[in-house]
Chains A and B, each alone.
Chain A
Amino acid sequence: MAFNSIDFALFLPVVFILYWFVCQKSLRLQNFLIVVASYFFYGLWDWRFLSLILFSTFVDFFIGKQLDKEEGTSKRKLLLWTSIVVNLGFLGFFKYYNFFVDNFIEVFSFFGVKFQASSLNIILPVGISFYTFQTMSYTLDVYYKKLKATDDFIGFAAFVSFFPQLVAGPIERATNLLPQFYTKRNFDYAKAADGMRQILWGLFKKIVIADGCAEYANLIFNNSADYSGSTLLLGALFFTFQIYGDFSGYSDIAIGTSRLFGFNLMQNFAFPYFSRDIAEFWRRWHISLSTWFRDYLYIPLGGSKGGLGKKIRNTFIIFLVSGFWHGANWTFVVWGALNALYFLPLLITNRNRNNLEVVAMGKFIPSLREIVSICGTFLLTVLAWIFFRADNVTHAFSILRTIGSKSLLTLPKFSGIGEAITIIALIGIFLVIEWHGRTRKYAIENIANFSSTPLRWSMYFTILLVIYFYGNFGEKVEFIYFQF
């Protein structure tokens, strides 16, 4: 069930009413309702893959309990590796099996060896990369003794399957989310109202910005050979806003929905396109994944400690793994490597933590230096997204070659360019709102502070009307990150 579907519009109020009116007296009952609702939510995609979630839940629940009891280092390590192998085994099979088989065949045939293996017709379970990483965070935290293992299976199952963030994150850390399942939750008006506001903004980002851009991004990328450099650059820009609107919109709806049920999820996006360098971009883009890799991969590898060689190695590992996490395609690996290359000069010159505060704090107009650095970082990001969106690496390079040609200086031209002006104008308005709200958790959070109730409501209804008249809600444009 997608957040932008009629199913969800019916599902959410029903679960909300049951949660606060029927199950309110018992925490266990509320958690049980979350498990049932989450399994129903996921089962509408494909009920067969519920068994994977259930199995993963069982494995990590029992391994967590064993880890708590066990004191011996070698046994604890064995338990941890069992969990990692099971979780990554599922992920590896469903997501990467065909990729490795196809690449092995190609490598062997390059050396003239005939390698016998055939790829399988495997369906990728929606959100497998997200919930796998979330359950792994539990086992890792118990292993590192940051968290005590839980004895409540229902609460743990609710943590693993919590429907708002089950299929596309934010990937929650067990230390943050799990304790919330064991704390009495009381309805909080301010929190729920804030959740509704964030849901509204998320829907705007997804339905208006992302799906509006998707139409043109798909047209241009799918027929890239027909277009000039300027049109391809415009296509890359459309994709840049599509992926941001799509993914951050999903995160906003997920966080907002969680707040309706009394939960606090971590912020996943912090206005990344206003970053002044790539290091800042990565502190603001898909924060839950970046910090996951930082905590469970980068730091255990030694992080930025040690010599320059080790720093470079660790940076490359984390970016390549992050790229590969997105999908079994070399385009994602190159995208990761490219970001590592962008990041390295900052790391080597110790400038990777220069821009920690919000840009142009206390001002509406940034300085010229800030404008230049924001635009430069944005351009680098746009170029990297070409690899992310392209069908394969050759396709990405051919797009980049055309962008680098003289045709970049011509006017963009494609079928429907007249209608595209509307979405370009909407992106402009969207950027102004985002810029204005960049110190907040999400751009329209400050509407809550408007003292005039009619003004507040008219803002909400204006956004709803824009969604209605400019949204692409009729077509089924899936959330991009579902495929990861």
Chain B
Amino acid sequence: MRKFLLKALFGISVIASFNLIVFKFAEIHYYSEYRVFPSKKFHSFLLCDSHGLPLENFLEHHGIYNFSAGSDSYFDMNRKLNFLIRNQYQIDTIYITVDNHTLSTYREGNNNSDRSNVYTSNEDYKTLYQYCIEKYILDWAPIFKSRVRDIFWEYITTKATNENKKEKTNWMNLSEQKKKALVESRFRTQFGSSRESKMLSSILNDLINICKTNNIELIGVKFPVVHEYYEKTKNHNFKADSIFVVNNLKVIDYSNKTRFEDGDFANQDHLNKSGGKKLASIWMNE
């Protein structure tokens, strides 16, 4: 038994050392950018996925804090909202994304549930065991998180090959063929399955009820996309915006605004920085 335990201990030590390296990496490259806490001076918050990111902090002098994060799903946004309420933020308005894809099964699987746990407390979990696992154990053992692994792998290969995969692009500079391919690929990713996520739909309804209970005005936002992508997706909508309409909630729709040009986009469905600035100015002047 002694021999077995010693060898097991050796194996565990090597794995733990590797885990420590990944942990340090994750802290810097994965968690730190996500786990931010808004100042209490804000009373309005923007909760979006990556589509809200180009708005950066352009809305802040209008009192709106951009609490968006790439890949956030309604699950994560719900956690953020509960965090704000629990921590006694004075919330007047929540702006939330209701883009066509936000209720997709793609978004259900591709989210930030492993990072948004920072905004949770034990009341958000069914059992104390689940709370301990998700809030602490998994955070200490990032080798069990595939997203950390993917970022870690990308980091290693980028360093090894000396290439910058995250090079900033501009939609305007792409060839027609490349644009078409990107539109197709993005469409397949977001609308590959025609099934709506029941889980996300139910969370969105919960979110609406929480806002009603707490007298928070909830406004839906649809972000601009390039013309080609708009045409491709206009008949494919998982209808988060319809849930808003049914609940008599306002929806601001920028998805088909001709005021945006190709030069305002980084890719088929994301604005670039100047596009973000433009959207902020249009939004605040309307």
Chain A contact residues, CB within 8 Å of chain B: 6-7, 9-10, 20, 187, 189, 192-193, 196, 219, 222-223, 415, 457, 460-461, 464, 468-469, 471-475
Contacts and interface: CB of A to CB of B under 8 A. Distances in A.
Question: Top 3 A-B pairs ranked by shortest CB distance?
Answer: A474-B146, A415-B188, A187-B1
Contact of B15 (A20, A457, A464): A464
B185 A473 contact: no
Interface in B89-135: 109, 133
A11 to B, nearest CB: 11
Contact of A474 (B7, B144, B153, B193): B144
A222 B195 CA distance: 11
Contacts of B4: 187, 189, 192-193
Interface residues of B, number: 25
28 contacts: A6-B133, A6-B137, A6-B138, A6-B144, A9-B144, A10-B137, A20-B1, A187-B4, A192-B4, A193-B7, A196-B8, A222-B193, A223-B192, A415-B188, A415-B192, A457-B11, A461-B14, A464-B15, A468-B143, A468-B149, A469-B149, A469-B153, A472-B146, A473-B146, A474-B144, A474-B145, A474-B149, A475-B109
Given A223-B192, A415-B185, 9 more contacts: A20-B1, A189-B1, A192-B4, A193-B4, A222-B193, A469-B149, A471-B146, A473-B146, A474-B144
Contact of B133 (A7, A187, A219, A457): A7
Contacts, number: 44
B179 interface: no
B61 interface: no
B156 to A, nearest CB: 9
B166 interface: no
Nearest to A474: B146
Contacts of B14: 461
B16 interface: no
B3 interface: yes
B50 to A, nearest CB: 19
B43 interface: no
B137 A475 contact: no
A376 to B, nearest CB: 35
A192 B4 CA distance: 8
B141 interface: yes
B227 interface: no
B239 interface: no
A220 B185 CA distance: 16
Interface string B178-219: 000000010011001100000000000000000000000000
A472 B149 CA distance: 10
A473 B144 CA distance: 7
Contacts of A457: 11
Contacts of B137: 6, 10
A187 B144 CA distance: 30
Contacts of A415: 185, 188-189, 192
Contacts of A468: 143, 149
Interface in B130-185: 133, 137-138, 141, 143-147, 149, 153, 185
A235 to B, nearest CB: 15
A471 B192 CA distance: 23
A474 B192 contact: no
A461 B11 CA distance: 9
Contacts of B149: 468-469, 474
Nearest to A196: B8
Nearest to A200: B11
A254 B146 CA distance: 24
Contacts of B15: 464
A10 B153 CA distance: 26
Interface string B1-38: 10110011001001100000000000000000000000
A90 B190 CA distance: 41
A461 B138 CA distance: 21
Contacts of A10: 137
Contacts of B141: 6
A219 B146 contact: no
Interface string B56-86: 0000000000000000000000000000000
B7 A475 contact: no
Contacts of A20: 1
Contacts of B147: 474
A20 B153 CA distance: 39
Contacts of B11: 457, 460
A223 B7 CA distance: 48
Contacts of A473: 144, 146
Nearest to A415: B188
Nearest to A464: B15
Contacts of B109: 475
Interface centre among A10, A189, A461, A468 (most CB of B within 10 A): A468
A289 B4 CA distance: 33
Contacts of B153: 469
A219 B137 CA distance: 32
Q: Which of B1, B15, B109, B192 has the most C-beta atoms of chain A within 10 angstroms of its own C-beta?
A: B1
Nearest to B127: A44
B60 to A, nearest CB: 34
Interface string B236-274: 000000000000000000000000000000000000000
Contacts of A464: 15
A31 B192 CA distance: 49
Contact of A475 (B133, B146, B185): B146
A109 to B, nearest CB: 29
A219 B192 contact: yes
Nearest to B187: A415
A464 B4 CA distance: 19
A350 to B, nearest CB: 49
Contacts of A196: 8
A474 B185 CA distance: 23
Nearest to A9: B144
Contacts of A219: 192
A445 B193 CA distance: 42
A83 B228 CA distance: 65
B137 to A, nearest CB: 6
A474 B153 CA distance: 14
A196 B11 CA distance: 11
B271 to A, nearest CB: 25
Nearest to B143: A468
Nearest to A461: B14
A421 to B, nearest CB: 16
Contact of B3 (A189, A223, A474): A189
Contacts of A223: 192
